[in-house]
Amino acid sequence: MKIHPLYLNGEFVTTAETLAVLNPSTGQPFARMSVASRPVVAQAIASAHTAFSTWRNVTGKSRGDFLLKIAAEVERRKDEIARAITMENGKPLAQSQGEIGMTVDHLRWFAEEARRGYGRIIPPQADGKRHLVIKSPLGVVAAISPWNFPLVLAVRKIAPALAAGCTVVLKPASATPVCAALFAECVHAAGLPRGVFQLVVGAASEIGAEFLENPRCRKITFTGSTEVGKKLIAGAAATVKPLSLELGGHSPVLVFDDADLPRAVEGAMIAKYRNTGQSCIAANRIYVQRGCAQAFITAFVERVKALKVGDGLGAGIDVGPLINPAAVDFALSHIADAQARGAKLLCGGTRSGAPGGAFLEPAVLLDVPGAALGMCEETFAPVAYLNVFDTEEEAISRANDTTYGLAAYVFTRDLNRAFRLMESLEAGMIGINDSVPTTSNAPFGGVKQSGWGRELGIEGMDAFLDTKHASFVVA
């Protein structure tokens, strides 16, 4: 079985200690990954610190050219990397290919942004003074990424940090390190100078502690659960370490009577079942206005029943396995809790597939009380919670009744309503008749307990730049 190496200071390093990478469709290991101890992580930060002194002075254009070379290499190996994503994460192959397409686009977008680390000149208020604002790269950045979009969410951090002139140590999720290892090979093939990008894998709490406590690590950029995000906030207090946090979500979908119904059904399907429901911006709560409720529910359930569940490498699969059997148990507990509180199960909600796999038949529940677990916490599975509402005010109030604030979706043909909702929904991203709002050139991130800061767009690179003011007295 292949053992994937760490990538440390320009070298591929295979360690004696390794961890097994499981295929969630079978529960069987298909690869092993080398593991970094805490001293190895400290050494990686030291190498990144050394590399920073040179990389920060490479021109933005040249840094961008490196990113373009990485993008070309990822594209050249896209079939192999897509297959690895499906093997370790379980998602249908077409969705892994889509993830690679977006990864390449992020690399290209930030290759261009690398040239644009603009400062500004501020008109003085006093005679003889001049004020300049410049942007400087922060230094060594630690990136921690999750398993649900294992490649693109790592690159959403790496590409802007490198573009800004920072050096990066990546720690991917332990469940999905293989595509990060393949990405490291792409970086190496692109000829990035040693130490500018490194890959460490291993015990999250130890690696996280090194990132938090090592003064040479200037920032942690994290995507994952709100629970771990809170631990990082607590840990960062001691050193006042800056954090970017992309955390959990609980996105509402609001379907109004005036919506284009087929479009709303299609949009809700994508928002809910893409990535097997394991997306931070997944639709968690679907609210449908009474006038179109019956038609929407009938069409939606029909579509859900037609979804093909199976091994992501199979042909025509819509929904793959969850990340592991425990995730199926967790989703089943949310379904049982909703039913115990009076919700009606309209379809799905049972285990399926071969033993060892983590398959769940896509479920739809109707009339789910607000206190049900799945209405408050992320179920992170192909389980839809449907409720009916009467007025716009009620819809807004129910949509905002959550500690999260990542994405929200609205289906309406009324432009005035669209503007009112865009302004009143408490979320970092609002999809108006759009179930996939993510794009390289627009900011991505949450409000409330969904996180701090933004990735992508011009904000994405700014997250890795210090703003400095230089004040001159000119004789």
Catalytic residue set:
246, 280
User: Could you please report the per-residue DSSP string of 62-128?
Assistant: HHHHHHHHHHHHHHHTHHHHHHHHHHHH---HHHHHHHHHHHHHHHHHHHHHGGG---EEE--SSTT
Say whether residue 38 binds ligand NAP (CB under 6 A). no
248 binds ligand NAP (CB under 6 A): yes
Q: How far is the CB of 388 from ligand NAP (least distance, A)?
A: 26
From candidates 25, 223, 244, 284, binder to ligand NAP by CB under 6 A:
223
Nearest to 143 by CA among 157, 153, 162: 157
- Cβ distance to ligand NAP smaller for residue 217 or 264: 217
Q: How far is the CB of 444 from ligand NAP (least distance, A)?
A: 7
Residues touching ligand NAP, count (CB under 6 A): 29
Does position 174 interact with ligand NAP (CB under 6 A)? The reply is: yes
Strands (E), 275-382: 283-289, 344-347, 351-352, 359-360, 363-366
Residues 359-378 that bind ligand NAP (CB under 6 A): 378
Shortest approach of ligand NAP to residue 205 CB, angstroms?
4
**CA 447/CA 184 separation, integer angstroms:** 32
Nearer to ligand NAP, 235 or 353 (CB): 235
Max Cα–Cα distance, the chain, nearest Å:
80
Q: Which residue, 82 or 170, has its beta carbon nearer to ligand NAP?
A: 170
- CA-CA distance, 273 to 70, in Å (whole number)? 31
Please report which helix (H) or strand (E) contains residue 439, including its range. none
- For ligand NAP, what does the binding mask look like between residues 131 and 150, x meaning CB under 6 A? -------------xxxxx--
Please report, in angstroms and rounded to a whole number, the separation of the first and last CA atoms in the chain: 71
Both tokens of 80, joined, read 């192999």
Residue 442 near ligand NAP by CB under 6 A: no
Calculate ∠ Cα 313-90-101, nearest 5°. 75
Distances (CA, A) of 305 to 265, 347, 362, 370: 13, 7, 8, 25
Q: Among residues 103 and 223, whose Cβ is nearest to ligand NAP?
A: 223
Interaction of residue 407 with ligand NAP, rule CB under 6 A: no
Which of 3/122 has CB closer to ligand NAP? 3
**Which residues is 254 bridged to in the sheet?**
287, 410
Among 142, 317, 406, 421, binds ligand NAP (CB under 6 A): 406
Residues that bind ligand NAP (CB under 6 A): 144-148, 153, 171-175, 204-205, 208, 223-225, 228, 231, 246-249, 280, 378, 406, 446, 450-451
